[in-house]
Copies of this chain bind each other. A is one copy, B any other.
């Protein structure tokens, strides 16, 4: 229910995510070899913990087994690589003991890793057929050059694509502004737009002239992690606002977009909760399923 001052339509990511999960559930039932998911966590982080809880919830619905591997933040790159190597093999081994010969378990390495670790080498150690996040050089390279539409997308790309589809957003003829060039949001989205030869601008919270870009954007997708970076006075009337940023304030996870001021001016907007987040998680499981199927 919208109150009288609200203008924008809410993007119901939660509902679309539920549809995807329902569809995946039917697919899992048909699979002889159920996929399983390993999540690697280094150190303590409240935001990360919430994301893991969401993944566990979906895994339970789908009847997909999930294992969390937690490591101290003092672990070295070599130790983590050794553990990862075991995880890649262990997972298959456990499943084999249950008489299921699973070759395609997904592995997620929760980012960010502590700064002393060599993230590149760690992410690149993931076999491409387990890399549901597309964070290894091989997986992202494959994504860039491959024009095959059947290839899996980085989860954020899958999430944005389905938002554009469900809300009939003619994104090819809109001015798209990406805010933030991080590994999980801005970078994969930029690569997708490059592939599709769609014009866009990519900015950072430090861009001097941020406001002049925001005020002209038809579509803004933000993934910076800076509270109230985007306020209603900065956007164009009728803009589409998609918030993929996350900051932790006390117990709450909040985005980059100041929802209350932006909803008055935008035409479409993601809500503070139930927007991009659940969709990205659903897309991760969609990737897990696609990899499991393609390994048959």
Mark A residues whose CB is within 8 Å of B.
Answer: 120, 123-124, 135-142, 144-148, 173, 175, 181, 186-187, 190-191, 193-194, 197, 199-204, 207-209
A177 nearest CB neighbor, chain B only: B201
Partner of A137, one of B124, B145, B175: B145
What B residues does A201 contact at CB under 8 A? 199-202
A199 and B204 form a contact (CB under 8 A): yes
A173 nearest CB neighbor, chain B only: B208
Q: How far is the CA of A124 from the CA of B143 in the complex (A)?
A: 12
Which 5 pairs across A and B sit closest by C-beta, in order of nearness? A141-B141, A137-B141, A201-B201, A199-B207, A137-B145
Q: How far is the CA of A204 from the CA of B172 in the complex (A)?
A: 12
What B residues does A186 contact at CB under 8 A? 194
A190 nearest CB neighbor, chain B only: B194
CB distance from A40 to the nearest CB of B (A): 17
What B residues does A147 contact at CB under 8 A? 120
One complex includes copies of this chain to the number of 2
What B residues does A137 contact at CB under 8 A? 138, 141-142, 144-146
Q: How far is the CA of A238 from the CA of B145 in the complex (A)?
A: 36
B197 and A200 form a contact (CB under 8 A): no
CB distance from A253 to the nearest CB of B (A): 23
Q: 10 A-B Cβ contacts within 8 A?
A: A120-B145, A120-B148, A135-B145, A137-B141, A137-B142, A138-B141, A181-B197, A190-B194, A191-B194, A194-B202
A187 nearest CB neighbor, chain B only: B194
What B residues does A202 contact at CB under 8 A? 193-194, 199-201
Q: How far is the CA of A144 from the CA of B138 in the complex (A)?
A: 10
What B residues does A197 contact at CB under 8 A? 181, 204
Q: How far is the CA of A194 from the CA of B144 in the complex (A)?
A: 14
Q: How far is the CA of A203 from the CA of B198 in the complex (A)?
A: 7
A203 nearest CB neighbor, chain B only: B199
What B residues does A138 contact at CB under 8 A? 137-138, 141
What B residues does A146 contact at CB under 8 A? 120, 137
User: Given the known A-B contacts A141-B140, A181-B197, A190-B194, are A175 and B209 also in contact in the complex, defined by CB atoms under 8 Å?
Assistant: yes
A174 nearest CB neighbor, chain B only: B208
What B residues does A139 contact at CB under 8 A? 141
What B residues does A208 contact at CB under 8 A? 173
CB distance from A193 to the nearest CB of B (A): 8
What B residues does A173 contact at CB under 8 A? 208
A123 and B140 form a contact (CB under 8 A): no
Partner of A136, one of B123, B145, B199: B145
